[in-house]
Amino acid sequence: MAGGDDDYVYDEVTGEWRPASEMAAAVAQAAEVRDAAGNVLKDGDSVALIKDLKVKGANQTLKQGTVIRSIRLTDNPEEIDCRHDTIKGLVLRTEFVRKR
């Protein structure tokens, strides 16, 4: 390992020792949640549906353009928790929403 003040972390994917700051930046970038257009989503954002979606178990269809307010991010970067007036516990895939 090189001398200096940098801490190094073992990257299991590449099998190399990398600076901790570089690894932290890579993790932060991978954890970003993006909508269908590539915009970064955060907790509390509002999104609009980009296509009609049939909701399993609710026997209902959410129409394109429906606005969902106050989303919550999940552990899965491809899914968001949502609330809708008629559907509680709604989980949407980020590929079907666009940030407003």
- Give residue 1's pLDDT: 47
Q: What's the pLDDT at 49?
A: 97
Domains of the chain: 1-31 (no CATH), 34-99 (2.30.30.40)
Q: How far apart are CA 85 and CA 75, in angstroms?
A: 24
pLDDT for 21 equals 82
Q: Name 41's Cβ contacts closer than 8 Å, sequence gap at least 6.
A: 33, 34, 35, 47, 71, 73, 80, 94, 97, 99
- In this predicted structure, what is the pLDDT of residue 57? 84
Q: Which residues of 4-16 are buried (b: 16+ CB within 10 A; e: fewer)?
A: eeeeeeeeeeeee
- Encode the chain (100 residues) as per-residue pLDDT tens digits: 454 557 888 888 788 898 888 877 766 666 789 999 999 999 999 999 999 999 888 889 999 999 999 999 988 889 999 988 888 889 999 999 999 9
